[in-house]
Amino acid sequence: MKRIRIGNGCGFWGDNLDAPIRLAQQGRLDYLTLEYLAELTMSILALLRQRNPDAGYATDFLDVLTRLVPTLESQPNLKIITNAGGMNPRACALAARKIVPNARIGIVCGDDLMPNLDELLAGGHPLNHLDSGAPLASLRQRVVSANAYLGSAPIAEALGLGTNIVITGRVADACLTVGPCLHEFGWPQNDWNRLCAGTVAGHLIECGAQATGGLWMNADASTHLETVGYPIAEIADDGSFTLTKPPGSGGRVNLETVAEQLLYEVADPARYFTPDVVADFTTPTFAQTAENVVECHGSKGRPATDTYKVSVAYRDGFAASGMLVIPGPKAASKARRSGEILLERLRLTGCTFEHSNIEALGSGDCVPGVLGRFDPPEAVLRVSVRDPDKKKVERFTKEFAPLVTSGFAGTTGYTTGRPVVREVFAYWPALIAKSAVHPVVELLC
């Protein structure tokens, strides 16, 4: 039975830059996937593209690609699939071609709805908020980005053009894995069980080391996360697969690490919606067959919906967050009181905020209601505010240092400077009919 090995060397923009290099060198891969995008990332990339029409993609990919050149030369059959294209896949591809001039680079785009957003809203696609039902038109002028999550078929189509690198915009994360399966195995796009299997494999590896011991509840010094290996899914034509990592690398692949990642960012395990299939994560059977090897069989899915999910980002004011260290007896109580003093001083000047939050980190506030509160001998005060008025937020950042001499004894931690004011981008989830979105696949010429 034909099998392909797909390894994911990146779980987000900012992940370990060495991981994809080690994985490509040691993993005996057919495909290396690199997953860079999150909802916040798309809004940041949209702003970068507004300032510079040649920007708007994950620039880390170019650093990684440069370091991968020797591996690509020694492994000419290795293919790379990445969503590093972000808001500007073509610009990313043009930059990549300068690094690997002989590569055949495929581009997948069509996910960006901003150029036609007003036309879509006027044409019966209101992009209502999935939770509140409010129409997007209510804040149209604040919208920064709007992207549909495309499926796996365009990736498979790009691979069919003989490409060895495929650069996409916003696609569903698991599709970076399912796309190669469609290409290699010729799976019908209504074979819901095999599409579900590929989605399970893709979901397990999409966050990088989270499937190989990263964030594992039982990780300890013996897990050797300093050399953690990134995940490899070896997938068969029938949809069964094994999950593993490069031999000799740190981390762990076992039923716990796999189960924890399987349920990551999942609302209803029986109905995990993707553009390709409604996957039922309660159906696959997992078995530990060797050290750091877990096998998966029996995945079952249901027909895909007729909509794409849309991720919209919009401007929602300004925020800042500052911290100070409060030592000594009853530190948490004094930290919370210090935060109250800070906000009260601002109130007395007429400066109040739409949202504010006071935390005494180290006393249970980081996960409220989980550990319970206690009063340690030192705590970190964190005060955060958000408001439409940038000037008010700027004024807030100037109120931390005074606590060092006019707060409780021992207050410290002010030497790193004032907090930074940042613009807030809020998330608006919506659906759009697939018939209104037109994926585009091209070979870079």
Domain ranges of the chain: 3-111+149-305, 315-427
Q: What is the pTM of this model?
A: 0.94
Per-residue pLDDT reduced to its tens digit, 59-99: 999 999 999 999 999 999 999 999 999 999 999 999 999 99
Domain 315-427: CATH architecture, name and number where available? 2-Layer Sandwich (3.30)
Q: What is the mean pLDDT of residues 332-356?
A: 97
Strand order in the sheet with 79-82: 285-290, 293-297, 241-244, 232-236, 3-8, 31-34, 79-82, 165-168, 105-109, 440-443
pLDDT at 189: 94
List the single range of 49-58, 127-136, 291-300, 363-372 with lowest mean pLDDT. Answer: 363-372
* Phi/psi at 201 (5° precision): -60, -45
As given in the structure block, the two tokens for residue 368 are 């409220």
Residue 156 has pLDDT above 90, yes or no: yes
Burial degree of 256 (CB within 10 A; 0-12, 13-18, 19+)? middle
